[in-house]
Chains A and B, each alone.
Chain A
Amino acid sequence: MAIEVRIPTILRTYTDGKKAVEGEGATIDELFKGLDARHPGIRERLVDESGELRRFVNVYLNDEDVRFLAGIATELGDGDSVTILPAVAGGMV
């Protein structure tokens, strides 16, 4: 089950500069665990200690933010594309 994963600039240090990598998994959670096996350290940038997606990392399944689906448990199918983008956020405090 091949899933295309699009990697943002800031995380390309984990993927030898590649903009997209292939992954596998029935859910986002499995996909990220699989990615971490090949690109050690990347999962920690995406998932917090409790196993949930980090608040300021956006993960999209095709065109949909997975927060509006089932979050880290969102199911994936063959040929799906997952895009990771750091949130653009900040504030005065």
Chain B
Amino acid sequence: MLTITQDLHDRIVAHARADHPDEACGVVAGPAGSGRPERFVPMLNAARSPTFYEFDSADLLKLYREMDDRDEEPVVIYHSHTATEAHPSRTDISYAGEPGAHYVLVSTADTDDAGLFQFRSFRIVDGEVTEEEVRVVTAY
């Protein structure tokens, strides 16, 4: 189960909305081993595409160095799908490189009446996808 604050939830949604029709992506870092998402880090989608996202490689190195220095992990890795449901695609599954992370998917398909708005969370481990419950709380 992913437990996340309303504030962080809303910031992820706002980022996805702002970047629509391109895919938005980012991380919510948290203390290593805590499983608690705390620090919102929106990332630039270097692909600037409605169908693909990729963290810029220099930004990625900076992010991981920063998390290392602060003893943090990427607790949540989020991105948006802009015309399809908020479920990991084959591409998402094959590139998923953080087995400990909650992969949050937001669908902004409602913007263009292409589908419903969704906010869902998954674990992706060794190509296996498991959806999990999302609990939105006021504070931890």
Question: Which residue among A83, A87, A90, A91 has the maximum number of chain B CB atoms within 10 Å of its CB?
Answer: A90
- A58-B57, A92-B81 given; A87·B64 CB < 8 A: no
Q: How far is the CB of A76 from chain B (nearest CB, A)?
A: 17
Chain B interface mostly helix, strand, loop or mixed? mixed
Interface residues on A, range: 10 to 19
Question: How big is chain B's contact interface, by range?
Answer: 20 to 34
Contact of B95 among A60, A85, A87, A92 (CB under 8 A): A87
Interface members, chain A 53-80 (any B CB < 8 Å) = 56, 58, 60, 63, 65, 67
* B residues at A contact (CB < 8 Å): 23, 25, 27, 43, 47, 49-55, 57-58, 60-61, 64, 77, 79, 81-84, 88-92, 95-100
Which residue of chain A lies nearest to B77 when distances are taken between CB atoms in the complex?
A88
